[in-house]
Structures are given as structure tokens and as C-alpha cells.
């Protein structure tokens, strides 16, 4: 495969780059990321266990207050346990919603993202044959394209405000331009 921009043969599939440790280290994977990262099921499970362990410490404090006749420990420990328990549920549920939004967005952009190639010679992103989208994009344009398409446009960092997509490329759910 040859880059349509500079004719270089140094092209790699975007999903392959994003899975490559060297690209993750040098930041290229992040520049071509399909969507904002979201906590995995494992992270959420871990956060739940951490929260419950800390709530358990509050319960232990409350019990030690009962045993040692220190009502302040009992009240403080109980409050701490309740706060940590409720807080953990709120955080873990929020992470679940975040994950669901990212997964829904990824399913919308999957075909676009998987057909993209990156040229190491001129640092541009393209689809062989011009489908499903045409032309050369910079990694910044590509990321804005993917994120806007998936509905995460608002989460793009400040530096993407000035990145304009070529006219004609579809953006936003339903293919509407997010700005004129
Ligand atoms: Zn090139």
C-alpha cells in the first residue's frame, strides 16, 4: 500500500498503531484515538472493592467506639461508612454510564476508524480507495472527525477548537456539521 499524499510505502493501519506499545509511549496512539478512554469493567470492579473496603473501615471504627464507649468514634465511623458506601455507588454507576456512551460512539465510528491508515512519511491519515471517507487528514483532523462523529466533540481538548475538517466529510450523529 502507498500513501496517496507522498507516495511513501511507510503506512500502517490505525487500529494497529493504537494497539502498539511504542506508539502509546510516543503519543501517536493518543493522537489517533477513536474515543476518549472510559473505565473498563475491571476498573469499576476495583473501584467498588476499594470503596467497600474503606466503608468497612468506617464500620470497624464505629464498632471500636461501641466497645470502648467512645460515642464520637461510633458516630464518625457510621457517617464515614454511609458516605463512602453512597459515594462508591454513585461513582461506579457514573463510570458505567460513561462506558456505555463511549461504547455506543465506538460502534458508530468503528467502520470509519478500522479502515483508516496512517502514513509515517507525511503524518497523514487516509482510507485506501477513498472509502468510506476521502482525502488526507492530519491526525488532529482525524481525531476531531472520529470524536465528533461519535458524539464526544465536547470532550476534545482546547487545541482542537481551531482544527477544521475538510468540507464534505460527515461529522456529528446523522452527518450534520457541528459548526458552519
Ligand atoms: Zn504520506
- What confidence score (pLDDT) does residue 119 get? 97
- The Cα 144–Cα 9 span in angstroms is 25
Q: Residue 2 Cα, ligand 1 centroid: separation in angstroms?
A: 8
Q: Residue 133 Cα, ligand 1 centroid: separation in angstroms?
A: 17
Q: Residue 38 Cα, ligand 1 centroid: separation in angstroms?
A: 31
- The Cα 179–Cα 171 span in angstroms is 10
pLDDT tens, residue by residue, 10-35: 999 999 999 999 999 999 999 999 99
Q: Residue 11 Cα, ligand 1 centroid: separation in angstroms?
A: 8
- What confidence score (pLDDT) does residue 159 get? 83
Q: Residue 139 Cα, ligand 1 centroid: separation in angstroms?
A: 12
- What confidence score (pLDDT) does residue 161 get? 86
Termini Cα distance of the chain: 35
Query: Ligand 1 (ion): which residues have CB within 5 A?
Result: 3, 5-6, 8, 119, 121-122
- The Cα 16–Cα 178 span in angstroms is 29
Q: Residue 109 Cα, ligand 1 centroid: separation in angstroms?
A: 23
For the chain, list residues with pLDDT below 70: 170-180
Helix pair angle (71-114, 139-150), 10° resolution = 110
- What confidence score (pLDDT) does residue 177 get? 46
Q: Residue 125 Cα, ligand 1 centroid: separation in angstroms?
A: 8
Identify the three-state secondary structure at position 1.
Answer: coil
- What confidence score (pLDDT) does residue 173 get? 53
* CB half-sphere exposure, 16, CA atoms < 13 A: 8
Asked if residue 74 lies in contact with residue 60, where contact means CB atoms within 8 angstroms, the answer is no
Q: Residue 35 Cα, ligand 1 centroid: separation in angstroms?
A: 24
- What confidence score (pLDDT) does residue 178 get? 45
- What confidence score (pLDDT) does residue 109 get? 93
Global confidence as pTM:
0.76
- What confidence score (pLDDT) does residue 170 get? 67
Amino acid at each position: 500500500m502507498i500513501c496517496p499524499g507522498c507516495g511513501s510505502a511507510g503506512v500502517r493501519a490505525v487500529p494497529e498503531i493504537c494497539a502498539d506499545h511504542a506508539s502509546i509511549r510516543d503519543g501517536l496512539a493518543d493522537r489517533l484515538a477513536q474515543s476518549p478512554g472510559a473505565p473498563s469493567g475491571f476498573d469499576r470492579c476495583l473501584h467498588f472493592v476499594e470503596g467497600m473496603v474503606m466503608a468497612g473501615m468506617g464500620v470497624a471504627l464505629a464498632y471500636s467506639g461501641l466497645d470502648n464507649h467512645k460515642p464520637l468514634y461510633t458516630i464518625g465511623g457510621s457517617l464515614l461508612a454511609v458516605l463512602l458506601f453512597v459515594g462508591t455507588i454513585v461513582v461506579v454507576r457514573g463510570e458505567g454510564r460513561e462506558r456505555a456512551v463511549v461504547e455506543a460512539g465506538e460502534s458508530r465510528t468503528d467502520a470509519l476508524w478500522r479502515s483508516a491508515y496512517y502514513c509515517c512519511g507525511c503524518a497523514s491519515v487516509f482510507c485506501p480507495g477513498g472509502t468510506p471517507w476521502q482525502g488526507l487528514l492530519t491526525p488532529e483532523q482525524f481525531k476531531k472527525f472520529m470524536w465528533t462523529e461519535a458524539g464526544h466533540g465536547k470532550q476534545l481538548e482546547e487545541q482542537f477548537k481551531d482544527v477544521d475538517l475538510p468540507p464534505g466529510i460527515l461529522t456529528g450523529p446523522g452527518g450534520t456539521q457541528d459548526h458552519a
